[in-house]
């Protein structure tokens, strides 16, 4: 009954795995799925246990993964999102689980990321902000989440950073002031936050 011993046995005797993919015990089926021939995993695609389906998701050919795109278990869907071919991945951009969408945002071709700019979860939008083409970052400069705007401010082209000099959060104004064109910094000369005023003075060459 020990999963560790089962795995050790099948690792040494992978030819025996095929005899255990129909085992009554879910753990034996899940471990057997790691070693059985790939063509024998078809019967496990709809296994009642999610651990078994996860093992299958790691191994089946990419062209068969779409069978598990709507699996009820999020870990199975995460595995699918981590392996699925890019041309099919966009179909998972509206998955109900934010973590699945995070994996989608990590791998989706950058030209397809626009649909995820307004994702309801900030973790997903952070991934989008990290990968979105620089010329398109302005679409996220007013994001509701501070950390998303921070990523935008750190990646945005200096000439377009001017719009973030008016951000309500001082940290974003500071980051923008570090790289924005000098001629745009005068509007922050009287900023209410010392750190922002200091970076402006330093860049403009003014004395304290």
> What pLDDT does 23 receive?
80
> What pLDDT does 80 receive?
97
CA distance linking residue 201 with residue 189, whole number of Å: 7
Average pLDDT, whole number, for the chain? 93
pTM higher than 0.75 for the full model? yes
Ranges 7-21, 32-46, 48-62, 134-148: which has the least confidence: 7-21
In 3-state terms, what secondary structure has residue 110?
helix
Q: Assign 206 a pLDDT band (cuts: 50, 70, 90).
A: low
Cβ-count burial 128-155 (b if 16+ within 10 Å, e if not): bbebbeeeebbebbebeeeebbbbbbbe
> What pLDDT does 207 receive?
52
8 Å CB contact between 32 and 20: yes
Q: Return the DSSP state at 36.
A: S
Domain segments of the chain as ranges: 1-60, 68-132, 144-208
Phi, then psi, of 20 in degrees rounded to 5? -120, 0
Instruction: Give the residue from 42, 47, 37 showing the smallest Cα distance to 71.
Output: 47
Residue 200 has pLDDT above 80, yes or no: yes
């Amino acid at each position: 009954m020990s999963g560790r011993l089962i795995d050790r046995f099948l690792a040494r005797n992978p030819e025996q795995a095929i005899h255990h993919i129909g085992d009554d015990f879910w753990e034996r089926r899940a471990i057997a799925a790691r070693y059985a021939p790939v063509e024998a995993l078809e019967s496990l695609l709809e296994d009642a246990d999610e651990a078994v389906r996860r093992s299958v998701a790691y191994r089946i050919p990419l062209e068969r993964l779409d069978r598990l795109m709507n699996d009820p278990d999020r870990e199975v869907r995460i595995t699918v999102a981590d392996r699925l071919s890019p041309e099919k991945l966009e179909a998972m951009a509206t998955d109900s689980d934010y973590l699945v969408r995070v994996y989608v945002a990590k791998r989706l071709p950058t030209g397809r990321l626009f649909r995820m700019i307004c994702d309801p979860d900030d973790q997903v939008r952070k991934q989008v902000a990290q990968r979105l083409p620089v010329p398109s970052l302005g679409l996220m400069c007013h994001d509701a989440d501070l950390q998303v705007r921070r990523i935008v401010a750190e990646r945005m082209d200096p000439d377009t950073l001017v719009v973030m000099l008016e951000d309500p959060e001082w940290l974003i104004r500071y980051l923008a002031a570090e790289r924005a064109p000098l001629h745009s910094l005068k509007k922050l000369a009287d900023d209410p936050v010392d750190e922002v005023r200091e970076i402006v003075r330093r860049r403009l060459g003014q004395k304290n």
